[in-house]
Structure 1
Amino acid sequence: MKTHSEKIGLFQKIRDLRKNGLVALLLLLTLLLVANFVLQGVLMLILKTSTPLHTPISGSMEPTLNVGDLLIIQGGVTGESLYAHAGDGDIIIYRDPRDYDGIPIVHRAVDKYQVNGTWYIVTKGDANSIVDDWSWYGFPRGGTYNVAGCPESYVIGKVIFSFPHLGGILSKFDAPMVNLGIFVLSLRHFLIIILLMLLVYLELTGSKEEVKETQGPEKPNKDVETAN
């Protein structure tokens, strides 16, 4: 039969396991979220673009690319270096002429031409029946299709790799915004802060418990015992 002290020791071990398991889980989640954040910064430097990762939001490039895929974008490309050909041309990501600061377009480069030293890229979604024509936005026509392509200055980069469905998962942590009054954070950044605060709290409370255990029980006051 277990003694009272053995039972206390067993309960303490269970509490320690629960605490250590929780800390490990929180630490793992924090590392995953931070790693994703740091990875984007590293990719920006390596791939030479402020948009190293992108996720298609429409099915215009299906079946080659699907909504929710995570695309790796190589920046630093020029109109001259891009391969533009129907069916197997480079897939590029470029600023939408209708909304320059909006969500970029991901389409295939099917043709290109030069006007006054500037390259213009003609694009088309694999699922679309016609090429994109931006002549309404003041760009000159040219090339095989006699349409207005987007200028090379609008091109952010080209797709060099894709991970099916992964972008849709990550976007769930980025798209929702948490309004804290003074600051507005993405859900991912908000979770990082909360998890770090929990880790600090558990560490501090754990340290206090360890100090109490080290000090042991309070010794009785001898003067009080003598007086009694």
Structure 2
Amino acid sequence: METPTLGPDELLFILKGLMWTLILAAIGFGGGIPFGLGVALARTAERRWLRWTATGWIALFQGTPLLLQLFVFFYGFALFGLRIPPWAAVAIALTAHASAFLGEIWRGAIQAVSKGQTEAAHALGLHYGSRMRDIVLPQAFRLSLPATIGFLVQLLKGTSLAAIVGFIELTRSGQIVSNSVFRPLLVFGIVGALYFALCWPLSLWGGRIERRLALGVR
């Protein structure tokens, strides 16, 4: 009986899973950016009901596991007779998850901007939109960049949970190949190396930016 081997077809299957991991991370992060900005602005708004709504949203998605969120979005739509593909449920869940975390990161960055600058802009007669667009948000974006990159690393690794609803991304593709060639250590070593190749450069980049910001403050 011929022993199964890890050949080009199996490696190509793993690389296809890697492609879907990147796509899911891009969708979740890209969708989380505008929604997260909305959450951050609501969290720092003057109207109390906006702050409470944003606080509830953040508490919901930061206080529950991503795995549970994937389950709810995947099976929750079915309760209302809506059948959506796994990738759509995962994309919605990752976007909602990212919006809560990015919103809280950016909320902290917005509040870290010196109040004297916003007061000066207000005294000059600049309306809220101009103050945020031209003064507060550019500085907040710079301050939040290391934490934002750190969350992107977490999101890349979090896409591995999509396998629980039947989506074939990098981790799930590695599991399938491992079950077919009976070489789990080799296969998951390759999968781990691919995750490392994605996440480690981002971590280094975030650390470098953080050190530059720290030097700029001195």
The answer to whether TM tops 0.5 is no
Structure with the higher fraction of residues in strand conformation: 1
- The bucket for the TM-score relative to the shorter chain is under 0.3
Q: Normalized against structure 1, the TM-score is what? A: 0.25
Identify which of structures 1 and 2 has the higher relative contact order when contacts are C-alpha pairs closer than 8 Å and 6+ apart.
2
Structure with the higher fraction of residues in helix conformation: 2
Pair member with larger Rg: 1
Q: Normalized against structure 2, the TM-score is what? A: 0.26
